[in-house]
Chains A and B, each alone.
Chain A
């Protein structure tokens, strides 16, 4: 009996050691990690970060002790629910990806996240790094990608309305503030009788992201309803953007359908929107990208990697996150999935600068993205309730667009609503 059992043990141990050699298996990694033995690191992302198995294998080849297990959630919403249910408790991966939309919520718990090592600091665009630094000055997020916004336009529709079609000329035409942008839009609408831009709320998004202070101040004071800039943004959008927009908001079935049938001529366009357009209107020829954004630069979207401080292998996880968000790897991720780098150094990389997009009339989207990213000068302070305030304000614009309420009533409804937050 005893001997049979030892034999079984021996067999299992043999198999296990074999597995260890083969894959750098994690059995007993908990205790071994302190001695520098084999470690299994988990990384959780969503959508597509461009972290292919080949890319992760590169790291494993360089660090034979490390095995990486990559879990991908389908949507950022799934990841968000999972993140907040487990943060500070157990069950999160060693590295967790966080989207910029709910990154401010995560920043409330920055004390539960490990700090980015000094060696990595300064790698990112200033505003990208500033958004991940908490009140105590701890940087807790490794920036991955960003969404620098340009203007996508339909050259054929521009031509029909008597506007320039060359992307350089369009950039010159739209260069300037929002007023200028709306004037061009009015011109288009007057000539064709059709809306110029896809949605009014994308304009609101663009304008609010150019403000220093939106709804909250860094010390936690809520200024949403008193902030004159917000009221002005709302009024501008309602008075100027609503009349020239095809839809109130994006992502509806109607909106997707409209991309192919030429209902509108232009969109405010972060890099990742290119894929959305080409995916929904594959037959259409004429989409192009202009290297311009009204009122300065604008960013929409992007993500961070965070390392929960109570993880089992914080040290190793920080090293991996550091490596993944290094410029060289981010450029590879960009080539894999189009995630535009937030690391300044990568803007000199030829893989990025030489990148063109065939669908958009061979526009140099790499160059345009770099120019657009560098045009962003303002980092809007986004407190933990930014999303709630902004969502409610978008609803206010939608109410006016739909004709449910007039400009003043809708603003007052918003004020009442957010006062209860």
Chain B
């Protein structure tokens, strides 16, 4: 528009002047309809997102540069002090270590097991629907309920696991004292809940692979393992990327399970199972220091962003691109 308006009037024109096209208002309306409606139809999501997603994100960024008083609803601008404070806390680094440790202990076995179960369910077995629905049952349970049951099992003195170990003569495991074992216990809860979910997603993707590939491979004399490695895995690539990225985001934001792991929900006396989100919650709602909590939220956001990118690159490399075959 502006380009047309500012065009010099003396611009040389070649050929006869064009007849101005007359378009009626209704024609114009239908043209707008064509161009604008798609945006209109998707706008509710984006408007909602702007209100409940974007605004809080931006406001969090603002608060993270302030010493914020929730009750008086005011703050003092202090620059990067909150970020510096967070990064200077040994607890933050412990929390970071724990988060990654729990993430690896949960995501890696979870995906391997999910892949295996999905591959088994993809075969011709009896009562297929029963088994397929069966793997999803743990997912239906509320995470807090899962955590309650497992916390009971992983009690140091009267827990089910240690009682069984004692019966067979193995010394009890210090579930709430040793960082590694507490991570194993928490990862178990996560795996219990999420393995079935990932299995179903992978299974759906496996079912979409054309059966001709397998028949051709069989004719060529490929065994079951070779078929899995050369056909199933490459075909699952987009799904695997999705599953890995969602479980990364979920893993780095793990909260319910460590919070319910002991009676205080603050990650243990020596921060054995303190995760980033747990630390964030404690700073925000335990200490009412929303400036620091906001800074930590942004640090977590950046960490997830970086890990997500690394994930994408690595996954792309690892799982061969079927397009280039």
- Identify the A interface with B (CB < 8 A): 81, 84-85, 87-89, 105, 108-109, 112, 248-255, 257-258, 388, 391, 394-399, 402-405, 413, 416-417, 420
Contact = CB atoms under 8 A, between A and B. Distances in A.
B46 interface: no
Contacts of B262: 252
A82 B91 CA distance: 27
A163 B90 CA distance: 47
Interface in B125-156: 151-152, 155-156
Contact of B158 (A87, A257, A388, A399): A257
Contacts of B159: 253-254
7 contacts: A88-B71, A112-B71, A251-B263, A253-B155, A257-B155, A258-B157, A420-B89
B287 A388 contact: yes
B112 interface: no
Nearest to B271: A395
B264 interface: yes
Interface centre among A85, A89, A252, A399 (most CB of B within 10 A): A252
Contacts of B269: 248, 394-399, 402, 404
A193 to B, nearest CB: 16
A253 B158 contact: yes
Contact of B73 (A88, A395, A416): A88
B63 to A, nearest CB: 14
A85 B288 CA distance: 10
B91 A417 contact: yes
A395 B274 CA distance: 13
B88 interface: yes
Contacts, number: 72
B70 interface: yes
B288 A105 contact: yes
Contacts of A253: 151-152, 155, 158-159, 263
Nearest to B72: A88
Contacts of B73: 88-89
Name the prevailing secondary structure of the B interface residues.
loop
Nearest to B267: A395
B228 interface: no
B270 interface: yes
Interface residues of B, number: 30
Interface of B: 70-73, 85, 88-91, 151-152, 155-159, 174, 176-177, 262-264, 266, 269-270, 272, 285-288
B85 A252 contact: no
B155 A84 contact: no
Given A84-B70, A112-B71, A420-B89, 4 more contacts: A251-B264, A394-B269, A395-B270, A420-B85
A81 B288 CA distance: 9
Nearest to B158: A257
Contact of A420 (B88, B151, B152, B266): B88
A86 B71 CA distance: 7
Contacts of B176: 252, 402
Contact of A405 (B71, B89, B270, B287): B270
Contacts of A257: 155, 157-158
Nearest to A106: B71
Nearest to B156: A254
Contact of A85 (B70, B89, B263): B70
Contacts of A388: 286-287
Contact of B263 (A252, A258, A397): A252
A147 B144 CA distance: 31
A352 to B, nearest CB: 32
Given A87-B71, A402-B270, A81 B285 contact: yes
Nearest to A102: B288
A399 B263 contact: no
A403 B177 contact: yes
Contacts of B264: 249, 251
A396 B270 CA distance: 8
B114 to A, nearest CB: 30
A53 to B, nearest CB: 31
A85 B156 CA distance: 37
A200 to B, nearest CB: 11
Nearest to A400: B269
